[in-house]
Amino acid sequence: MTKPAPASLFAAEFLTHVVELGVEHIVLSPGARSQALALVAAELERRGDVKLHVRIDERAAGFLALGIAVESRKPAVVITTSGSAVANLHPAVLEAHHAGVPMILVTADRPEELREIGSNQTTHQHDIFGPAVRLSIDEPAPVPGSTAQRRGTELAELSYETATDLFAPGPVHLNVGFREPLSSVVEVRELARVTSSQDSTAKGITLALERGPRTIVIAGADAGPRAEEVAHEGGWPLIAEVTSGSRYGRNLIPSYRELLANPELTSQIDRIVVFGHPTLSREIPALIGDSSTGIETIVVRGSAPEGYNPGLNVASFVNEVVVEDGDTDRDWLGLWIVNGRDAFERYESLAIDAALATAPNVSASRSESIEEKKAFLAAELAASRVKISRELLVDALWRSTWPHDRLVFAASRLIRVADMFVGGKKIRVHANRGLAGIDGTIGTGIGVALASENALTRVVVGDLAALHDAGSLLFGTQEVRPRIQVIVGNDGGGTIFDALEVGQSASPADMDRVFLTPQNADLAALAAAYGWGYTKVATVSELERALTGAGDGPELVEVELER
């Protein structure tokens, strides 16, 4: 009987053991050099030990793995062949690095003797991701016998525990040289579930917070519920970005920009406690970075490697905070809540009431007067035909999303509108804010949807973000098609630049040419090409019907917006 190839022995033990440690998803892009890994992944899927996702585009595969980890809190294994396939993972690796998202990358390579001699599909893959990975190993080609299996076990444990480190999770890169034969028949052993050796009780640095100092709690991207808990325990105002996972509770101040730009309020702040990574406003880093204020800033380290430190003005970095016993300063909290409510109502009045000025008088529908009833019906018809603004779009999305649903925003204009406008609601919201790039948003959302299984996932993107990641719309005929809606706010280009300095300094022609980059892509044809359902909406009533009528498979909803 022919002995199994070393490549297959290594692949069988590495993948089996990493699944035993906790990996539930493998994302694979096909290739010849990585064939041993692919065949083992297929066998593990066949036995029901793992969920396998096959993508022909490595960039889409990387962001798919990112979304899976964001939702499941566990790393997915990403498998690629050699050459440019590895480089295509870089955008997702950078996002995972800066956002602290676990990921295990296994890239196949030529063995040492075939490198740097002009071999086909060969480049320098080791350390290709630089400091963006927590661990980078250039593993020599597996050797015959039990050594290949033993090494597979060792690297599985090292990769998994590094990627899921309690205080610094992130991507790890295992680059493996494979010699021919590149695969063979191999026995893939049965799983024996094991427990990670990491101490889940480790707490790091914990700081006790006195109640006395006038404090505000700021929750940035992926801050999680702890920020709301601390604000509630301390009786302090909570400023929570829309992607924080903390935007709810009695202490929430939704329209915070106006308040943080008001020196009468900010001059009274003694202390700021930051969770997560604030990225959606200029007011937050400006306030923290101003050394003249004398404000003490404490950053509760999340999973990202870089501490949030505007102006290098942060006093301390800790892993956890606890609130000491004492009396709550109700006047301090009330000051922010009252001002925040006033600001929110002003913005809501400008953004929504103006658009719905024709809203019908409900009491008229119950009137005995025929004329009043006719007037009600006419007003109701007019309201249903109101054109969709960005504010009305995010309002409808926010109202239509339930706690068991998922919402994913691109780094487009709409996420900022949502952050300025929507109120408090305890729902799971994500955006790739590690680097705040528009790339990979659809792929990330699909990963979230696949990992959340029965939940409805809505991905909110601008037209350019959608087109930038159109490749992620592709599902092979054997792939799981999750319940997902991609909501495309189509205003014909990158209108986010209109609100920046360049909007005032550039000529209209230059603005269109190098910033707006107008497009007239046919999104209906794009959806049809990839086998997605498609709906185009122009009015509020059409939008609400599309959102509430979500089906069981992938759908693209195009929303007409004005520039």
Structural domains of the chain sorted by starting position, each given as residue range(s) with its CATH number in brackets: 6-177 (3.40.50.970), 206-338 (3.40.50.1220), 358-384 (no CATH), 390-560 (3.40.50.970)
Across residues 449-453, what is the average pLDDT? 94
Query: What is the model's pLDDT at position 199?
Result: 59
Per-residue pLDDT band at 381 (split at 50, 70, 90): low
How does pLDDT run across 22-63, given as a tens digit for each residue? Answer: 999 999 999 999 999 999 999 999 999 999 999 999 999 999
Nearest to 88 by CA among 51, 109, 115, 60: 60
Residue 306, pLDDT > 90, answer no
Can you spell out the DSSP letters for 419-446? HHH------EEEE-TTT--STTHHHHHH
Rounded to an integer, what distance in angstroms lies between the CA atom of residue 469 and that of residue 461? 10
Across residues 118-139, what is the average pLDDT? 92
Strands 206-209 and 135-139: unpaired
Across residues 502-515, what is the average pLDDT? 84
How does pLDDT run across 218-269, given as a tens digit for each residue? Answer: 999 999 999 999 999 999 999 999 999 999 999 999 889 999 999 999 999 9
Across residues 468-489, what is the average pLDDT? 96
Residue 313, pLDDT > 50, answer yes
Query: What is the model's pLDDT at position 144?
Result: 87
For residue 436, with 0-12 CB atoms within 10 Å meaning exposed, 13-18 middle and 19 or more buried, which class applies? middle
- Tokens 């809203």 belong to 359
Beta strands in 73-201 (DSSP E): 77-80, 103-109, 135-139, 171-177
Rounded to an integer, what distance in angstroms lies between the CA atom of residue 101 and that of residue 79? 17
Pull the structure tokens for residue 111: 């063995």
Strand partners, 535: 557
Query: What is the model's pLDDT at position 41?
Result: 98
501/74: higher pLDDT: 74
In this prediction, what percent of the chain has a pLDDT beyond 70?
92
For residue 347, with 0-12 CB atoms within 10 Å meaning exposed, 13-18 middle and 19 or more buried, which class applies? middle
Residue 282, pLDDT > 90, answer yes
Query: What is the model's pLDDT at position 360?
Result: 45
In this prediction, what percent of the chain has a pLDDT beyond 90?
74
For residue 229, with 0-12 CB atoms within 10 Å meaning exposed, 13-18 middle and 19 or more buried, which class applies? middle
Query: What is the model's pLDDT at position 495?
Result: 74
Query: What is the model's pLDDT at position 362?
Result: 45
Residue 557, pLDDT > 70, answer yes
Across residues 89-94, what is the average pLDDT? 98
Per-residue pLDDT band at 128 (split at 50, 70, 90): very high
Rounded to an integer, what distance in angstroms lies between the CA atom of residue 542 and that of residue 558? 11
Can you spell out the DSSP letters for 433-494? TTT--STTHHHHHHHHHHHHTTS-EEEEEEHHHHHHTGGGG---TTS---SEEEEEEE-SS-
Residue 211, pLDDT > 60, answer yes
- Which three-class secondary structure state does DSSP give residue 46? helix
Pick from 13-22, 121-130, 280-289, 552-561: least confident: 121-130
CA distances from 371 to 146, 384, 520 (A): 89, 20, 45
Query: What is the model's pLDDT at position 351?
Result: 63
Range with top average pLDDT, 78-82, 324-328, 376-380 = 78-82
Residue 563, pLDDT > 80, answer no
Per-residue pLDDT band at 497 (split at 50, 70, 90): confident
Across residues 545-554, what is the average pLDDT? 93
Query: What is the model's pLDDT at position 337?
Result: 95
Per-residue pLDDT band at 20 (split at 50, 70, 90): very high
Across residues 322-333, what is the average pLDDT? 93
Query: What is the model's pLDDT at position 186?
Result: 93
Query: What is the model's pLDDT at position 386?
Result: 82
Query: What is the model's pLDDT at position 115?
Result: 83
Mean pLDDT of the chain: 90
Per-residue pLDDT band at 196 (split at 50, 70, 90): low
Query: What is the model's pLDDT at position 562?
Result: 85
Angle in degrees, CA 481, 484, 486, rounded to 5: 120
192/557: higher pLDDT: 557
How does pLDDT run across 383-401, given as a tens digit for each residue? Answer: 667 889 999 999 999 999 9
Strand partners, 28: 54, 79
Pick from 19-23, 199-203, 265-269: least confident: 199-203
Across residues 193-205, what is the average pLDDT? 66
Rounded to an integer, what distance in angstroms lies between the CA atom of residue 361 and that of residue 371? 13
